Amino acid sequence: MGEEGEEYGYDTPSIPARTAFRRFWPLTGGLRKWLLLAWSCTVLAALAETEAVLLFGDLTDHALQGSPTAFWSPAAKWLGIAVAGALVAYVGNSLAAWATERFVMRLRAHVFDHVQQMPPHFFQRHRQGDLLSRLTSDVEAIETMVVSGLLGAASAAFSALFYAVAAFWIRWDLAAATFVLAPLFWLAARRFSSSVKDVSREGRVADGAITSVVEESLGNIVLTQAYDRRGAERRRLQEEANAWLRASVRSARLNEAYEQLVQVIETVCVLAVIGIGAWEISTGRMTLGQLLAFAAFLGYLYPPVRGLAQLGLTVTAATAGAERLIEILDVRPSVTDPRRATETGRPDGTVQVRDVSFRYPGAAGAALEGLSFTARPGELVIITGPSGAGKSTVSKLLLRFYDPDAGDILLDGVPLRDFPLARLREYVTLLPQETLVLHDTIRANIACGRPGASDQAVEEAAKAADAHDFILRLPHGYDTAIAPGSARLSGGQLQRLAIARAILRDAPVLVLDEPTTGLDAMAARRVVRPLRRLMAGRATIMITHDLNLAPDADRIIVVDRGRIVETGRHEELLARGGAYARLHRSQNNAVMDTGELRMPLWEEVRAREHTPGSRHPDGQPAQPAQPTWSAPGPRPVCRSETASPPEAAPWPDAASWPEAATWPRPRPAFQPRPELASEAHHRVPTTLPDGRPLFRDEDPRGGG
Ligand SMILES: Nc1ncnc2c1ncn2[C@@H]1O[C@H](COP(=O)(O)OP(=O)(O)OP(=O)(O)O)[C@@H](O)[C@H]1O
């Protein structure tokens, strides 16, 4: 599968058709009686056709040989049988179609349900387009193996049996001579079988890759257009399309070769019958009617025999689809419901993280090590630290997307793994960085916080989230339809929608993952007031780089490399002048990525300046350096509100929300040189008391 397959962790197992069939057969439960009925109808229709062919021979011998009166009786019988056969065939085929579609729906729901329980890393390792292709075309392929394949095989086998018995009944010796050639069909199918499976697997993989490229490309359309990547994207699609083309053409060639081979075998059989029949008629041992009826039986017999052989190929090809689904179904969810769930009422919301360590499946190192903290109802705990420190991993453990490898997380003293998952996620609400939007109305998007919530409750939540006014200004108010990625709402408005949803959910524990990241200063301000309303009375764990709310936090936890490097309140930590103070300073100097300022750059430069005879690497005397950061200003806008309709003054209202008056705290004026110069005299510690480096950039081993 090449590099791509490795990158996405595909390791599709090769499975025999029988194993694949057994794996999916249980999903036909409840449909089997209908399948049996459909099969019975097909068998009855085959019987009717057999009788019709016998009547045809009768008619040829009597009515066509000078006795017109002998026509009516077999003709009426024939017509009656044809009508009855058509009716049962209609009922049987309709029933079969209904049962097969039910099976497809059931299988797709089963796989979809399974995929929805997968942990976050599963979606990072599987391309979405490939998953889509597995959920659509591979699911249908399995249907051809398990339901219509089985039904078709049973029907074809019985039809072939009836026609063969009838042929034997007319002339056993002629039939025996013909059937000697029947294994040729089987041999031909066998010859093609393994190539068909290979080519079918290649086709399915290429199909998934094409869907992935299209999906990724459309999802990234801004990047494609802004960086004029159309050519590169076209080439990416072309590469996958070439693989698909090769597989499709090979598949068409194989099918055609098989078809033509079967035609030749059939011709040999027919010539044998006509040759022997002509000989028999000339010797008076056979009538013309018998020969025609016999030839007609062969005409009827070949399609089911050919169908049986073809079915082998179809099943083989479908096995490639089954393998791809089984690969997905064999991935176990990282967390499951407890065998015996602990019955608690609604918890108060005390979260205790006790000595938690965690490593992502397949990752080389631990994402968290020995993490401990507590958040009580009404408290705000901020987790901050450089990029990649393990902050978001904490939120994944709190929501129980994963269980810790060591240590425990408790909610009101009960380990999270003892709560049923659905209940736990009712008690712990996540507000992710990206506002997640359903393809539905604004009302439904808020109401999904608490299914069954009344319209009034939805509007109350929207008002508390400061979203009511902008919603009313939308073309259809609360009934305005929105969709993921739609530009109808700005980043800040979407965030307030998410806050309304969380307010409605009313969980005792709140996990906020970068609630203001990507918003410009105005948008962030508009979000803070509703955010405070949401946080009131709940245990809130906020994961953030943005330290504007830090002064209000009851506890700030600074993590790096998965370990807590500092913890305390804002003032204490600032006074300590350690990792937190450095992060805080980096933010106040308006640098977005705290990682950029992990090294005390200014100190380094100053130190170099003050080192007598220090030189640049190029040999020139060191020049006084300019500060490497930019002047303070609004944070880069990723999710801007500037395009949104004008709103009422966004500043927190000190009267109604006294605590809001303290935010945003005025940032210190930009005084680079004196302030930084003074910092040079108070060197920020860069190692922990035990000598470990504080941040990875300072790791003498050169990690990071
Ligand atoms: N699915 C995964 N598989 C393996 N490693 C992962 C996975 N997700 C995250 N990691 C690793 O775990 C570490 C912690 O990641 P995490 O996302 O928690 O960092 P973070 O502090 O939230 O970073 P940021 O501030 O940039 O969002 C990182 O080294 C990251 O590369």
Q: Each residue of 425-439: pLDDT tens digit?
A: 889 998 887 777 788
Ligand 1 pocket test: pick from 356, 393, 517, 592 the residue with the most ligand atoms within 8 Å of its Cβ. 393
User: CATH homologous superfamily of domain 13-199+250-329?
Assistant: ABC transporter type 1, transmembrane domain (1.20.1560.10)
pLDDT confidence band for 486 (50 / 70 / 90): low
Binding site membership of 76 for ligand 1 (Cβ less than 6 Å): no
Biggest distance spanned by C-alpha atoms of the chain = 129
Cα of 390 vs centre of ligand 1, distance in Å, is 6
Binding site membership of 360 for ligand 1 (Cβ less than 6 Å): yes
Cα of 497 vs centre of ligand 1, distance in Å, is 27
What would the two tokens of residue 177 be? 């001579």
> For residue 408, what pLDDT is reported?
93
Atom of ligand 1 nearest to the CA of 545: 25
For residue 185, give Cα distances in angstroms to 179, 252, 269, 306, 557.
11, 19, 11, 7, 73
Contacts of 211 (CB under 8 A, 6+ apart): 129, 130, 132, 133
Q: What is the mean pLDDT of residues 289-315?
A: 76
State yes or no: ipTM above 0.90: yes
Binding site membership of 393 for ligand 1 (Cβ less than 6 Å): yes
**How far is residue 444's CA from residue 453's CA, in Å, rounded to a whole number?**
10
Burial class for 318, CB neighbours closer than 10 Å (0-12, 13-18, 19+)? buried
With CA atoms as reference, report the closest residue to 432 among 529, 502, 524.
502
Binding site membership of 321 for ligand 1 (Cβ less than 6 Å): no
Question: Which is higher by pLDDT, 155 or 373?
Answer: 373
Work out the percent of the chain whose per-residue pLDDT is above 90: 15
Residue nearest atom 25 in ligand 1 by C-alpha distance: 387
Burial class for 638, CB neighbours closer than 10 Å (0-12, 13-18, 19+)? exposed
Cα of 265 vs centre of ligand 1, distance in Å, is 63
Count Cα neighbours of 576 within 13 Å in the Cβ-side half-sphere.
21
Binding site membership of 678 for ligand 1 (Cβ less than 6 Å): no
Question: Which is higher by pLDDT, 70 or 444?
Answer: 444
Name, of 284-293, 343-352, 390-399, 637-646, the range with top average pLDDT: 390-399
Cα of 387 vs centre of ligand 1, distance in Å, is 8
Contacts of 128 (CB under 8 A, 6+ apart): 212, 215, 216
Binding site membership of 365 for ligand 1 (Cβ less than 6 Å): no
Peptide bond into 674 cis (omega under 30): no
Atom of ligand 1 nearest to the CA of 433: 27
Q: Each residue of 225-277: pLDDT tens digit?
A: 777 777 888 888 888 888 888 888 888 888 888 888 878 887 887 787 788 88
Binding site membership of 118 for ligand 1 (Cβ less than 6 Å): no
With CA atoms as reference, report the closest residue to 501 among 473, 474, 471.
471
pLDDT confidence band for 491 (50 / 70 / 90): confident
Atom of ligand 1 nearest to the CA of 562: 14
Ligand 1 pocket test: pick from 125, 391, 397, 541 the residue with the most ligand atoms within 8 Å of its Cβ. 391
For residue 294, give Cα distances in angstroms to 124, 305, 424.
62, 16, 72
Asked whether residue 22 carries a pLDDT value surpassing 50, the answer given is: yes
Q: Each residue of 71-98: pLDDT tens digit?
A: 777 788 888 988 998 999 899 989 988 9
Coil, strand, or helix at residue 541?
strand
Q: What is the mean pLDDT of residues 496-506?
A: 89
Ligand 1 pocket test: pick from 118, 359, 360 the residue with the most ligand atoms within 8 Å of its Cβ. 360
Distance of CA 194 to the CA centre of its chain: 31
Ligand 1 pocket test: pick from 125, 392, 399, 560 the residue with the most ligand atoms within 8 Å of its Cβ. 392
For residue 13, give Cα distances in angstroms to 10, 132, 177, 330, 668.
9, 19, 44, 10, 61
Given CATH 3.50.50.60, say whether it is the number of domain 351-588. no
Asked whether residue 387 carries a pLDDT value surpassing 90, the answer given is: no
Residue ranges of the chain that CATH labels 1.20.1560.10: 13-199+250-329
Q: What is the mean pLDDT of residues 366-391?
A: 92
Cα of 389 vs centre of ligand 1, distance in Å, is 7
Return the H-helix or E-strand segment holding 554.
none
What would the two tokens of residue 486 be? 């739609």
Cα of 330 vs centre of ligand 1, distance in Å, is 25
Cα of 394 vs centre of ligand 1, distance in Å, is 10
> For residue 558, what pLDDT is reported?
93
Question: Which is higher by pLDDT, 690 or 373?
Answer: 373
Binding site membership of 392 for ligand 1 (Cβ less than 6 Å): yes
Q: What is the mean pLDDT of residues 135-145?
A: 82
Q: Each residue of 554-610: pLDDT tens digit?
A: 999 999 989 999 999 999 999 988 888 888 887 765 434 333 333 333 343 344 444
Residue-averaged pLDDT of the chain: 75
Asked whether residue 509 carries a pLDDT value surpassing 90, the answer given is: yes
Residue ranges of the chain that CATH labels 3.40.50.300: 351-588
What would the two tokens of residue 334 be? 């990282």
pLDDT confidence band for 64 (50 / 70 / 90): low
Binding site membership of 367 for ligand 1 (Cβ less than 6 Å): yes
Q: Each residue of 660-669: pLDDT tens digit?
A: 333 333 333 3
Binding site membership of 386 for ligand 1 (Cβ less than 6 Å): no
